[in-house]
């Protein structure tokens, strides 16, 4: 919209920042304030090896956050250079992805209560993999925009679920388990976009995003494997 009406960057960014501040202030007054219980103490070594279940959760978080970072950094480029849309239409794929992420996290708790954590991880993996595959197989504007929405919807609940599971690991303090998974997850978020860029420069962006689709497939398989094991 800002590009279409030729808004100056100053007014563009000022509008976005002002809107974000208003939303942040509104939500900050509705946060749940929780104080740590001083009676709970955890003793043990500073470094601990994760168990098998925590390794799977970490890999799931890694794949999910790598896909999130790749969509955030490369979806507009994909629309412009692969789908060949206009600069006005190109950001719509990213907008629909972000909208779906927001909606998924708003209603994610209700979905968890209905289906359970691992079934929701599997469903999210299937939805996100299908959405990205559709965008790669059929590089047309409408399909890519719809596919981006489903990628965002599928990924939206997975990282919060992995953090929740990691924090509830029985044989590790909650902080240790959570730190392990967040470290692995954010590694994917940070490394994913530049790795995708390197592969895109070596081959092309479409092939680079096939790697992301493969990782989403691996993430889904890990969820299925764990669910059957349980």
Q: What is the pLDDT of residues 161-208, one digit of tens each?
A: 998 888 777 766 667 778 888 888 888 888 888 999 999 999 999 999
Distance separating alpha carbons of residues 110 and 114, to the nearest angstrom: 6
Tell whether 43 is covered by a domain.
no
**What confidence category does residue 51 fall into, taking pLDDT thresholds of 50, 70 and 90?**
low
- Report if residue 35 sits inside a domain: no
Q: To the nearest whole percent, how much of the chain has pLDDT over 70?
A: 85
Q: What is the pLDDT of residue 42?
A: 53
Q: Where are the alpha helices (DSSP H) in the chain?
A: 9-28, 52-81, 92-115, 117-137, 141-156, 158-167, 174-202, 205-229
Least confident of 2-11, 176-185, 210-219: 2-11
Query: Residue 198 has what pLDDT?
Result: 92
Please count the structural domains in the chain: 1
Residue 112 lies in a domain: yes
Q: Is the pLDDT of residue 217 over 90?
A: yes
Report the C-alpha gap between 68 and 130 in whole angstroms: 15
Q: Is 80 within 8 Å of 94 (Cβ atoms)?
A: no
- Residue 125 belongs to what domain range? 53-229
Give the CATH number, domain containing residue 88. 1.20.1250.20
Whether 14 is in a domain gets the answer no
User: 224 Cβ partners below 8 Å, 6+ apart?
Assistant: 122
Instruction: Tokens for 71, please give them.
Output: 């969509």
Q: Measure CA 81 to chain center.
A: 23
Q: Whole-angstrom Cα distance, residue 220 to residue 127?
A: 10
C-alpha dihedral (138, 150, 118, 226), degrees to nearest 10: 20
Global model pTM greater than 0.85: no
């Amino acid at each position: 919209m800002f590009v279409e009406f030729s808004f100056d960057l100053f007014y563009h960014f000022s509008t976005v920042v002002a809107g974000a501040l208003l939303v942040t202030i509104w939500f900050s007054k509705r946060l749940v304030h929780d104080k740590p219980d001083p009676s709970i103490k955890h003793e043990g070594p500073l470094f601990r090896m994760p168990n098998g279940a925590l390794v799977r959760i970490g890999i799931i978080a890694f794949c999910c956050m790598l896909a999130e970072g790749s969509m955030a950094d490369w979806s507009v480029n994909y629309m412009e250079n692969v789908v060949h849309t206009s600069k006005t239409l190109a950001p719509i794929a990213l907008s629909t992805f972000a909208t779906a992420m927001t909606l998924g996290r708003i209603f994610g708790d209700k979905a968890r209560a209905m289906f359970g954590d691992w079934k929701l991880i599997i469903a999210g993996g299937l939805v996100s993999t299908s959405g990205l595959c559709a965008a790669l197989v059929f590089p047309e504007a409408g399909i890519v925009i719809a596919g981006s929405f489903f990628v965002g919807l599928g990924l939206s609940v997975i990282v919060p679920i992995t953090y929740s599971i990691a924090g509830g690991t029985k044989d590790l303090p909650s902080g240790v388990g959570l730190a392990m998974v967040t470290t692995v997850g954010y590694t994917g978020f940070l490394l994913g976009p530049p790795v995708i860029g390197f592969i895109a420069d070596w081959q092309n962006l479409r092939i680079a995003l096939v790697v992301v689709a493969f990782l989403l497939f691996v993430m889904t398989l890990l969820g299925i494997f764990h669910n059957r094991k349980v």
